[in-house]
Amino acid sequence: MSSTSAAAKRPGHRCRTALVLVAVAAAVAACGTSGAAPPGAEIVSRPTGAPNPSPGATQGAQVHGGAAAGLSADAPRPRASSDAAPTRAAGPPQQTITARDGTVLTATVVVPPVPGRYPLAVIPAAWGFPNTVFDVQAKELSARGYVVLTYNTRGFFSSGGTVDVSGPRDVSDVSDVISWALAHTPADPARVGVAGLSYGGGIALLAAAADARVRTVASLSGWTDFGYSLYAADTRHKAALDLLTSLLQKTGRSGADFTTFLDDYNGLRNMPSVLAWAKARSAGSLLDAVNRHHPAVFMAAAYGDNFFAPNPQIDFFTGLTGPKSLQLAPGDHGTNEIGGLLGIPNGEWSSAWDWFDRGLRPGSPSAAAHAPAAVRLTTDGGGVETYPTWAAATRSTTTLRLGPAPLGTGDLSPTAATGSWSTSIRSGTDTTANAGTVLITKALQGISHLPPTLRLDSVDRRDGAVWQAPPTPLPQRIRGIPTLRLSLTPNVDTGTVVAYLYATSPTGDSTLLSKAVHTYLGAKPGQPQAATLAFDPVATDVLTGCHLSLVIDTKDDLYLDMDRAGGTVAFGSPSAQPSQLSVPLG
């Protein structure tokens, strides 16, 4: 059962033809505490004559009780740091933390001003960004009553070593940072959380699998399957690769293993080794370990994330057995969280910190309130819906067959003809159908709730084929992950097909709902093959009089396609296994 806000009942944006952008300016005021202990604090009282641990102690987690305090057996203690302990006097102090392999990490620590025992929040920096971009959120979280430690991941900025790409050294660094904080700050070893954005979000989930001390996790625009992000459907994702390499060149230092990975990935060589390397950096492959440790996990993602698609994150979330919360909203990679880093009130960060409070501050208002719904969806129209599970968002599925398209345009309906028909397009030439500009198109959609429009008559039918469903007589609520089963016949051994799902208004304007891709390798020219394409998740309403449209071409700037010169690909719909679009309905 879902609950829907009034915003979801507004007149449908799908049939609108004007794009309206709303700019929201917000001022953030910070307030301090004085006198009584701030939220989250527990005044520590010790027996007379008991030792009083100094914040500058250098005995690792033993200061707070060693293994008895929650140090897992697989988390060796870091070397002692010679730095002074963080002070409460002025501003977030800079620290250096020496990891177990001798690599020095640079960090910022914010400690509440009143003596006491506080929950700990560790925030690894995002890929290619310094930890200081989290200063606003660190201040916000500390004001709630947390010791907050943000740090530059190894290989970036002033931290030492080379970039480990969320590998075993990055994961052990989280444990070493936790141990350092327990030794040098008034952090409570029984109340430890790790949060991160993008790269840091992926590391946070991996840390929960490796270190039993991590009781709460928040992963925002993170990932759970690194291989899927880089090579889903046998397709190299150019946008994800560009993100990795461009930021690394500017702010980081690459290690030999990552250089080898990039060389193999670019050259499409040794892909089993590449995927094994990526799997070791994926929390999805460590789900059993996460469940054994039973942390409370919060995840936030954008439907249209062009770097870390949310599909495997949904699978990971579904497999979690502990407390969990998933939020999905329109947008692209990190675009829903960026405002919070700039000091603008932000729902994703607020939800993450409320989740921290539920798990790490038992007396907080968030802990006392009713538990949030497991799944929270913001629709393309701006409405908010909640569900007990991801599966509950989809109540039924409608199946639309691809019909004959002799001139490049065909019917999309439950009764479309199957059989011997075939429609062919050229490979390697783009059409006007595309997924937009990375980090721009979906970000604007997230703000305006009005995606950009396309005229289907602008799609060159030599390079793309179009199928259109009849107008819907009633509003159609699409909730879930659409899939497309295709029968395709190429005339060359390799190629790529890209599918776009649109909602088309009575005036002919089409707005992009989702995209999917598939690359065929080692095909036998002239022989049909089956392919199943999974779209990005969708939460939108197609209004009365509008209809679904499907466009298939062979090129998009998001991907490194495998199209060959002179290539063509034909689509058909054999009776035994029709080409069809499965649409999840809510």
Q: Lowest mean pLDDT: which of 288-302, 423-437, 485-499, 525-539?
A: 423-437
Query: Do 207 and 251 sit in the same domain of this protein?
Result: yes
Query: Do 340 and 404 sit in the same domain of this protein?
Result: no
Domain-terminating residue out of 308, 341, 361: 361
Q: Does the residue 438 lie in any domain?
A: yes
Give the range of the structural domain holding residue 158, as residue numbers without chain letter.
76-361
The CA radius of gyration of the chain, in Å to the nearest whole number, is 26
Say what the pTM is.
0.84
Query: Do 244 and 331 sit in the same domain of this protein?
Result: yes
Mean pLDDT, rounded, for 174-198: 98
Query: Do 355 and 398 sit in the same domain of this protein?
Result: no
Query: Do 299 and 346 sit in the same domain of this protein?
Result: yes
**Which tokens in the block code for residue 433?**
């159908």
Q: Does the residue 40 lie in any domain?
A: no
Q: What is the CATH classification number for the domain harbouring 326? A: 3.40.50.1820
Q: Does the residue 532 lie in any domain?
A: yes
Q: Indicate the helix (H) or strand (E) that contains 356.
A: helix 347-360
Q: Does the residue 58 lie in any domain?
A: no
What pLDDT is stored for residue 326 in this prediction?
98
Mean pLDDT value across the chain: 85
Mean pLDDT, rounded, for 476-496: 98
Query: Do 202 and 261 sit in the same domain of this protein?
Result: yes
Query: Do 290 and 345 sit in the same domain of this protein?
Result: yes
> CA distances (Å), 424 to each of 129, 164, 465, 502, 528, in order?
46, 45, 8, 21, 12
Is pLDDT larger for residue 449 or for residue 379? 379
Query: Do 356 and 436 sit in the same domain of this protein?
Result: no
Q: Lowest mean pLDDT: which of 25-29, 273-277, 280-284?
A: 25-29
What pLDDT is stored for residue 443 in this prediction?
57
Is pLDDT larger for residue 495 or for residue 39? 495
Rounded CA separation 373/384 (Å): 12
Is the pLDDT reported for residue 60 higher than 60?
no
Q: What is the CATH classification number for the domain harbouring 449? A: 2.60.120.260
Q: pLDDT band at residue 453, thresholds of 50, 70 and 90? A: confident
Q: Lowest mean pLDDT: which of 89-93, 131-135, 485-489, 526-530?
A: 89-93
Query: Do 185 and 294 sit in the same domain of this protein?
Result: yes
Rounded CA separation 226/249 (Å): 20
Q: pLDDT band at residue 512, thresholds of 50, 70 and 90? A: very high
Q: Does the residue 56 lie in any domain?
A: no
Q: Rounded to 5 degrees, what are φ and ψ at 224?
A: -125, -10
Is pLDDT larger for residue 564 or for residue 44? 564
Is the pLDDT reported for residue 533 higher than 90?
yes
Rounded CA separation 133/163 (Å): 19
Mean pLDDT, rounded, for 416-443: 85
Is the pLDDT reported for residue 63 higher than 50?
no
Domain-terminating residue out of 321, 345, 361: 361
What pLDDT is stored for residue 450 in this prediction?
62
Q: pLDDT band at residue 524, thresholds of 50, 70 and 90? A: very high
Q: pLDDT band at residue 94, thresholds of 50, 70 and 90? A: confident
Give the total number of structural domains in the chain: 2
Q: Which residues pair with 582 in a beta bridge?
A: 399, 483
Q: Does the residue 374 lie in any domain?
A: no
Is the pLDDT reported for residue 523 higher than 50?
yes
Is the pLDDT reported for residue 51 higher than 70?
no
What pLDDT is stored for residue 439 in this prediction?
56
Query: Do 315 and 447 sit in the same domain of this protein?
Result: no
Q: Alpha carbon 419 to chain centroid distance?
A: 41
Is the pLDDT reported for residue 69 higher than 60?
no
What pLDDT is stored for residue 241 in this prediction?
85
Q: Does the residue 26 lie in any domain?
A: no
Is the pLDDT reported for residue 74 higher than 60?
no
Rounded CA separation 123/121 (Å): 7
Rounded CA separation 585/474 (Å): 12
Mean pLDDT, rounded, for 334-340: 93
Q: Does the residue 483 lie in any domain?
A: yes
> CA distances (Å), 475 to each of 5, 14, 400, 540, 545, in order?
17, 11, 17, 10, 8
What pLDDT is stored for residue 451 in this prediction?
64
Query: Do 411 and 313 sit in the same domain of this protein?
Result: no
Query: Do 104 and 221 sit in the same domain of this protein?
Result: yes
Q: pLDDT band at residue 531, thresholds of 50, 70 and 90? A: very high
3-state secondary structure of 567: coil
Domain-terminating residue out of 338, 361, 384: 361
